[in-house]
Structure 1
Amino acid sequence: MKLQGWIIYNGSLPGTKFLDFAEWIQAAAARKYSQTTIYKNNELLSFLSTDLLKLLKEDMNSLPDYVVFADKDIYLANQLESLGVRVFNRAEVIQNSDDKIASYQQLARQNLPIPKTIVAPKVFTNVQVDTDSVNLAIDQLGFPMIIKEAFGSFGEQVYLIHTKEELVTCVQALQGKAFMFQEFVSSSYGKDIRLHVVGDQVVAGMKRQAANDFRANVSSGATMEAYDPTDEERKLAISAAKALGADFAGVDLLFGPNNRPIICEINSNAHIRNMYDCTGINVADFIIDYILDTINKN
């Protein structure tokens, strides 16, 4: 029996990279004779009532055997799981990956290496900056330090801070948002590793290097090259993905002192085209193999 799948991406975002990811997954599924349908999240509305829970989709005859959820619409992912559909990655995984503070808390519970981090207290807008928190962060982390918003992509919500004045200004600007103070790992300035984990293995890796930025995001101009990780880096990336319960993930590692790896972040919906362009490895094939094997075992 051929398995039927859905691939869901966000229909409101500009550009084509999210649809591109969905199409790569669809092509990989077709190579394994699994038929898939691509949906925008706004084509599948969740309906809730006292005695009914369903999706509003007129031409939908049945639910799929699996869903590849290439989005952060947690409510829709939860709705699918409530209807008995196996979602890759699960809603809880996507939620914890999207929230970097939650990610670091999960990793810290497993005693995995992360930068020293202080979670900023929740405040509402138009209040005076909490100088006690600012001073404590300075005492614990020193300068330069990183300010990182809990929610963000492509390195755009990460700030390198050099002085107390810069820190106060940044904290003031982030009122009402969840963020953290974080140790700056100077040994990894402008460079990091992206390892793609699927199941229990690292299937591809690349090193990213920026010329004039402390961040190493390719979307911001960093270069990339194929990278063969050490055993320690492989083990850490797999442990990081498992700490969040991810079926697959892009795990970003920093070069710590003495080249010991430190976890930077985990991406449950990491794009795969750059990895293919860099390494020639199509991560989508590994993802689909893992999904079909998982469904067939259950």
Structure 2
Amino acid sequence: MKILMLTNAANGVSAQLLKKQAEKRGHEVETYDPTDLVAFISSTVSGHDQMYVKDTHSEIQRLYSKQFDVVLARFSGRDVFQYGLAMLQHFNGNLKVPVSSDPLALSIAANKFTSHQCFSLAKVRTIPTLFVNKPVDFAFIVKKLGLPLVCKTPLGSQGSGVFILSDELSISTTLSAFSRTNKNLLLQKFIDSGKPSSDLRIFIVDGEIAASYRRWALDSDFRSNYSLSHSGEKVKLTTEEEEMALAAAYSVGLPGICGVDIVRDSADNNKPYIIEANGNPSLEGVTKVTGVNIAEKIIIYLERIARKSSSKTKDSEEADNQLKSFVMNHQIQPGTLEYINQLARKGDLNGAISELRKTMP
């Protein structure tokens, strides 16, 4: 199998773990920064959209869809993320190469508010949340969320853009400053997980919980993130937490690869709340703390979706061959075939034949 990994951190721990496991299982891996890709959309109605890549000398080379069996998305960062999503969509939607994660789902998960909307629709317990622009009614905010409260920017990772407001003075001062910048903010009730602060990272691969661990915060911080504290321990999830994690991953459309974060409320019998779903979760912490080979599980998942895509392609080719045979035998004019051909490619051979019969005298 030939894997294309789109990442702007090719030398990072996660990318290297995935590359190592893929090669160990006999696969080839090509790695490109998504910002080095150039997508082309053709005016030809029957397709011919293309993808190109800039090499180290800034020369353009074409990438062919048949070069790759699957594309693995491992990119992040405000400057890279949106462009990477566009390239991922081009591979998947326009060039029909299977991808590890749906681009729209990645976009939903990356936005803290839209992901919480999905959690709520899926009946998953979420932290009480306000989404605001130019916040000025501080009394209303305190009434809905209490004190202290957590303030977040909608887009951010590894604890960036997250801070706590502990009293009315800090709320009025901070939010007044933000209101002048016209920035959207996510305000949430503060859930006290105990001292030191901690949360649970649940790693989901191919629709199943692959591993989980507790991430500790630094003593001077409330953000539980392995990239900040490098501290964690194995944890046993309750049945409710397992169900919540799976429901959260499915609700944002990322049951294939997803890192779901849950916080336990120490003041309410450790009642769990969903914090967020991460479409590009780090493999470093979960691998070191649990000993579970997450990278291998992800490669096995990629193998499955590549096989599934290949099987669909063979079925589509068989339908096309049967359709062509029918057309030749009945001398059908080619101008009427575009819609019919689409039906056949979807596997609806009966529908295609029915439409063809309508064209017959």
Q: Normalization by structure 1: what TM-score?
A: 0.88
Structure 1 range deviating more: 190-199 or 61-70: 61-70
Q: CA deviation at 1:130?
A: 4.1
The number of residues matched between the two structures is 283
Task: Measure the CA separation in 2 of the matches of 1:5 and 1:187.
Answer: 40
Distance of aligned partners of 1:56 and 1:173 in 2 relative to their CA distance in 1, 3 Å threshold: farther
Which of residues 29, 33, 38 is equivalent to 2:22? 29
Task: Measure the CA separation in 1 of the matches of 2:15 and 2:228.
Answer: 23
Checking the alignment, whether the CA contact within 8 Å between 1:188 and 1:254 is kept in structure 2 is no
Checking the alignment, whether the CA contact within 8 Å between 1:272 and 1:284 is kept in structure 2 is yes
Checking the alignment, whether the CA contact within 8 Å between 2:125 and 2:274 is kept in structure 1 is yes
Partner of 1:109: 121
Structure 1 residue 186 and structure 2 residue 192: aligned? yes
Q: CA deviation at 1:231?
A: 2.2
Residues 51-200 of structure 1: pairs in structure 2 closer than 5 A: 51=44, 53-57=49-53, 58=61, 60-61=63-64, 62-71=66-75, 72=81, 73-82=84-93, 83-121=95-133, 129-132=134-137, 134-174=138-178, 175-187=181-193, 190-200=197-207
Structure 1 residue 289 and structure 2 residue 292: aligned? no
Larger radius of gyration: 2
Task: Measure the CA separation in 1 of the matches of 2:24 and 2:236.
Answer: 27
Structure 1 range deviating more: 179-188 or 92-101: 179-188
Distance of aligned partners of 1:47 and 1:188 in 2 relative to their CA distance in 1, 3 Å threshold: farther
Q: CA deviation at 1:16?
A: 4.3
Partner of 2:242: 234
CA RMSD of aligned residues (A): 2.0
Moved over 4 A (4+): none
Residues 150-171 of structure 1: CA deviation (Å, up to 9, x unaligned): 0111112111101233123322
Checking the alignment, whether the CA contact within 8 Å between 1:45 and 1:56 is kept in structure 2 is yes
Task: Measure the CA separation in 2 of the matches of 1:141 and 1:59.
Answer: 53
Q: CA deviation at 1:98?
A: 0.9
Residue aligned with 2:152, SS? strand
Residues 88-132 of structure 1: CA deviation (Å, up to 9, x unaligned): 1110111011111111011111110110001113xxxxxxx5423
Which of residues 210, 213, 231 is equivalent to 1:206? 213
Task: Measure the CA separation in 1 of the matches of 2:22 and 2:11.
Answer: 20
Checking the alignment, whether the CA contact within 8 Å between 1:149 and 1:180 is kept in structure 2 is yes
Residues 220-252 of structure 1: CA deviation (Å, up to 9, x unaligned): 225211222222222211111111111111111
Partner of 1:124: none
Distance of aligned partners of 1:25 and 1:248 in 2 relative to their CA distance in 1, 3 Å threshold: same
Structure 1 residue 274 and structure 2 residue 297: aligned? no
Structure 1 range deviating more: 75-84 or 98-107: 75-84
More helix by share: 2
Residue aligned with 1:258, SS? coil
Matched letter for residue 201 of structure 2: R
Matched letter for residue 225 of structure 1: E
Distance of aligned partners of 1:76 and 1:131 in 2 relative to their CA distance in 1, 3 Å threshold: same
Matched letter for residue 262 of structure 1: Y
Distance of aligned partners of 1:222 and 1:163 in 2 relative to their CA distance in 1, 3 Å threshold: farther
Task: Measure the CA separation in 2 of the matches of 1:93 and 1:282.
Answer: 25
Checking the alignment, whether the CA contact within 8 Å between 2:136 and 2:176 is kept in structure 1 is no
Q: CA deviation at 1:197?
A: 0.7
Task: Measure the CA separation in 2 of the matches of 1:263 and 1:188.
Answer: 17
Q: CA deviation at 1:6?
A: 0.4
Residue aligned with 1:140, SS? helix
Q: Normalization by structure 2: what TM-score?
A: 0.73
Distance of aligned partners of 1:65 and 1:233 in 2 relative to their CA distance in 1, 3 Å threshold: same
> Any stretches of 5+ residues in structure 1 without a counterpart?
122-128
Residue aligned with 1:187, SS? coil
> Any stretches of 5+ residues in structure 2 without a counterpart?
54-60, 76-80, 310-361
Checking the alignment, whether the CA contact within 8 Å between 2:135 and 2:176 is kept in structure 1 is no
Q: CA deviation at 1:53?
A: 2.7
Task: Measure the CA separation in 1 of the matches of 2:274 and 2:230.
Answer: 19
Matched letter for residue 276 of structure 1: T
Distance of aligned partners of 1:46 and 1:188 in 2 relative to their CA distance in 1, 3 Å threshold: farther
Residue aligned with 2:17, SS? helix
